[in-house]
Structure 1
Amino acid sequence: MNSIGKQVLNALKGEINEIDYQRYIKQLTYDESESKSNLAIYRAPNALIANWVRTKFADKIAHLFEIKTNIKPTVSILIQSTSAATPSAVSNPTMQTNTERPSGSLLNPSYTFQNFVVGDSNNFAFIAAKNVSEKPGVVYNPLFIYGGVGLGKTHLMQSVGNVMLSQGKTVIYTSVEQFLNDFTRHLSNRTMDRFKDKYRKCDLLLIDDIQFLSNKNQIQEEFFHTFDALRNENKQIIITSDKPPKKIGGLEERLKSRFESGLVADIQPPELETKIEIIKKKCEINRVKLDREVINYVATIIENNTREIEGILSKLNAYSQLMGVDITIEFARNVLKEQMAEKRSNITTDLIMDTVAKELNIKPSEIRSKSRNSNIVYARRIAIYLSRSLTPNSMPQLAQYFGMKDHTAVSHTMKKIQELMKNDEDFRMKIEELSNKVSIATPE
């Protein structure tokens, strides 16, 4: 008879696409001897698969366990080479206290300050988190970090947690959803004293996605008292959100005021140079070999969500191993072509024009004008090149759109840009980055 862990994976097979199942989920092994009712341990053959499953499917796996057992466990994805008898994240007493620990409160041990790539877009938040880890409860309490999905908020938050965990401190990491589920369960079981003890007696409380407190009055009341109890004892609180406190609708003013009473730090989408460094770091951690040209290409095609890097590296590495070939730029383009084609299916010349104009700080009307200003000519050539590359428009159609004499002028522009791309790697990367920004832009 299949173990409960195997049954859950079989159930998951019916809810995801076949490629993801074969490439990732099928590679997992359920560790029945180490798993418990509130902890499901799976082992993956390498770090890439472990990280991908942890990011994409851990919550879904936990939900399927809950359907089958009425208990929602923490799902831990470990690497097979790790000793089954002593999984570090499980054996640490500050994290594995009892069955009352919030679901999903295990920290990811790979989330450290050393593994976090710092750039202009995240430097302020990084320094703030580092200072908090050195003087918890003393500086910046609470620390409120906000930014878009996949920019590193959780990484920084858990980096502080891992530092304090190594010092023997009690750390609780949870999302608003988990906090709410835990509150509801204890309320219905009339065990609120245990709930309060758990959340109000830790040294560090990490709360992810605080924006989901919106319009939940009862849980806002409970979180307000939990917040005050911790801060009155000089215990550190770190909160993440997709927006700053004042822009979270449906949130009580007293909570907004408390969230703003410490330090509010934002993380912006990474610039190209930071993306490149992130990819290099991910390659180092996951032992994936990519040359500079492939790294630069990947940096230009990923969106602002840097979590996408894990999936791309996993896909390139899997295809490379299956086919027994090195990952060259041609190989990478071929493997990722469907992914790029899907992004580009709804691109129009107007969208390209708007994106180029915004990025180069030039009005769309100027690009379509007869101006010979060097900056405008530069923008016009790029817009023409991208329009020809990313849309089905013919050269005569583009000549008409851009007010040019005939298609030979478009042809000349194409050759000029191609020559520049061939001889200037920085320019080529700029074109590819703009191409990706066009692909992910949403028409207004």
Structure 2
Amino acid sequence: MNIGQEILDKLKDEITEVEYNRYIKYLSYDSKKSTSDLALFYAPNALVLNWIKSKYAKKIAHLFEVKSGNKVTVQIVLKNTTEKRKTKKIIEAKQGSSLLNPTHTFDNFMVGGSNQFAYAAVKSVSENAGKVYNPLFIYGGVGLGKTHLMQAAGNVFQNQGKVVIYTTSEQLLNDFIRHLRNHSMERFQEKYRKCDVLLIDDIQFLSNKDSIQEEFFHTFEALRGAGKQIILTADKHPKKIGGLEARLQSRFEWGLVADIQPPELETKIAIIEKKCEINKVKLSRDIVNYIATVIDSNVREIEGILSKLHAYSQLMHIDIDLEFTKNILKDQMNENRENLTMDKITQVVAKDLNIKPSEIRSKGRSKNIVYARRISIYICRELTQNTMPQLAQYFGMKDHTAISHTIKKINDLIQNDEDFRVKIEELTNKITSSS
């Protein structure tokens, strides 16, 4: 019996039989590709993969450390996808780099207005490595698809037989420190300067780290001078990354800087539907729409939500309907909305409708002000814990009965005015996405 199976058998004693039989028992350990500090497992489908990653990856890594005495990185990939991949030159940096996720492809990346430019830029680079947009710098918030796009290009490059390194800035730093301590910097330099493509996630974490910035500057120069492709991601534009050397900042802008914005409602719906198709989860349109309004701009949460719904449904033998979904996701919804204030809601509504927040809270009776005020009152009532008297005081209305009367009018409009209902949904989504 190999060590991987021993670890899974050990895990069996520490979790429920139902979860073991439903998920863990389908994992298979690759003893040939695993090393002393990398444990490679195959999962049969994305649902099992995501469930185990979210719940048991750390536990499996801990059991490996207890068993072998080594810190082990647990890598779980899709079995079928891995078996079909051709033999490629892949650098597996045991102390710093990560394997590319084979499920990150251009085909399963949902393109919308918020990410269309970044998608087009990465796609173009994947077809002309080192010739256009070098470096390519992608920035945006957490979970918007930066890593997916970068690794999609990496998978294309590997299919072309290129040597690809994908790593995070934290892993790069750890690798640098290890080689520095071991007086083996020539090996570090050879590794990162001899690849065809270098992909680095979250480059902003190199801020204020002078030694690694110095080394990376020379690596950058060597790669770009040799026509090798560099793709970087960060949470903000290079100009706004504090603690970054000016010469690095300027070089990050030499090629192309592309941003990814939070997805609009239609794109989030399309993403959820695609994930449902991939993970073979059946959800009605009203459930899909509800999930799209509950999740914030972090698209990465979608697979976790689908896994959670599927697992609860299977374990409790309950069909997934809207009420069930609301109950399962109530904590998620509360977390996304707990920081919402009436000020924030009013500001978003005012900006969207091109009026001043002070006008919404005034006694103005013009058509556009009344329209904005009604929307603000309704959304504040729905998304905050404020009472009707508190709403009345905030919006300058006589008392709670005036709020009650206004909300009745709003509910009538929602029932009878399609444009008004759609505007409420759009703004609710925008507000919860930015919370």
RMSD over equivalenced CA pairs, Å: 3.4
Q: Which residue does 1:31 correspond to in 2?
A: 29
Q: Which residue does 1:349 correspond to in 2?
A: 342
Shift, 1:421, TM fit: 3.3
Residue pair 2:197, 2:229 contacting (<8 A) in 1 also: yes
Q: Determine whether 1:328 maps to 2:321.
A: yes
Residue pair 1:301, 1:432 contacting (<8 A) in 2 also: no
Distance 1:52 1:296 in 2: 23
Distance 1:412 1:177 in 2: 56
Q: TM-score, normalised by structure 2?
A: 0.86
Q: Secondary structure at the match of 1:205?
A: strand
Q: Secondary structure at the match of 2:233?
A: strand
Structure 2 counterpart of 1:50, one-letter code: L
Q: Which residue does 2:223 correspond to in 1?
A: 230
Residue pair 2:144, 2:299 contacting (<8 A) in 1 also: yes
Residue pair 2:7, 2:64 contacting (<8 A) in 1 also: no
Q: Which residue does 1:298 correspond to in 2?
A: 291
Structure 2 counterpart of 1:390, one-letter code: L
Residue pair 1:150, 1:306 contacting (<8 A) in 2 also: yes
Q: Secondary structure at the match of 1:78?
A: strand
Distance 1:206 1:131 in 2: 16
Shift, 1:128, TM fit: 0.8
Q: Structure 1 residues 219, 392: CA separation in 2 closer, same or farther (over 3 Å shift)?
A: closer
Shift, 1:226, TM fit: 1.0
Q: Which residue does 2:173 correspond to in 1?
A: 180
Structure 1 counterpart of 2:41, one-letter code: Y
% same residue: 63
Q: Determine whether 1:141 maps to 2:140.
A: no
Q: Structure 1 residues 251, 67: CA separation in 2 closer, same or farther (over 3 Å shift)?
A: farther
Distance 2:353 2:24 in 1: 46
Shift, 1:68, TM fit: 7.2
Q: Structure 1 residues 186, 342: CA separation in 2 closer, same or farther (over 3 Å shift)?
A: closer
Shift, 1:410, TM fit: 1.9
Q: Which residue does 1:112 correspond to in 2?
A: 105
Is the deviation greater in 32-41 or in 49-58? 49-58
Distance 1:224 1:9 in 2: 47
Distance 1:299 1:23 in 2: 31
Residue pair 1:176, 1:212 contacting (<8 A) in 2 also: yes
Deviation track 1:102-157 (CA, whole Å, cap 9, x = no partner) reads 54421111111111111111111111111111110111111111111111111111
Residue pair 1:94, 1:169 contacting (<8 A) in 2 also: yes
Q: Structure 1 residues 314, 430: CA separation in 2 closer, same or farther (over 3 Å shift)?
A: farther
Distance 2:7 2:290 in 1: 40
Residue pair 2:37, 2:94 contacting (<8 A) in 1 also: no
Deviation track 1:370-400 (CA, whole Å, cap 9, x = no partner) reads 2222222121112211232333443344334
Give the 5 Å matches for 1:127-138.
127-138=120-131
Shift, 1:267, TM fit: 0.9
Structure 2 gaps, min length 5: none
Q: Which residue does 1:75 correspond to in 2?
A: 74
Distance 1:63 1:248 in 2: 35
Residue pair 1:301, 1:433 contacting (<8 A) in 2 also: no
Q: TM-score, normalised by structure 1?
A: 0.85
Q: Structure 1 residues 169, 175: CA separation in 2 closer, same or farther (over 3 Å shift)?
A: same
Distance 2:240 2:40 in 1: 38
Is the deviation greater in 57-66 or in 243-252? 57-66
Q: Structure 1 residues 428, 68: CA separation in 2 closer, same or farther (over 3 Å shift)?
A: farther
Distance 1:181 1:196 in 2: 14
Give the 5 Å matches for 1:94-105.
94-95=89-90, 97=91, 100-101=93-94, 103-105=96-98
Q: Which residue does 1:41 correspond to in 2?
A: 40
Structure 2 counterpart of 1:121, one-letter code: S
Q: Which residue does 1:264 correspond to in 2?
A: 257
Shift, 1:357, TM fit: 2.6
Distance 2:21 2:332 in 1: 16
Residue pair 1:171, 1:202 contacting (<8 A) in 2 also: yes
Residue pair 1:5, 1:40 contacting (<8 A) in 2 also: no
Which of 277, 280, 286 pairs up with 1:287?
280
Number of equivalent positions: 431
Shift, 1:37, TM fit: 1.4
Residue pair 2:50, 2:304 contacting (<8 A) in 1 also: no
Distance 1:323 1:55 in 2: 20
Q: Which residue does 1:384 correspond to in 2?
A: 377
Q: Structure 1 residues 43, 419: CA separation in 2 closer, same or farther (over 3 Å shift)?
A: farther
Residue pair 1:62, 1:72 contacting (<8 A) in 2 also: yes
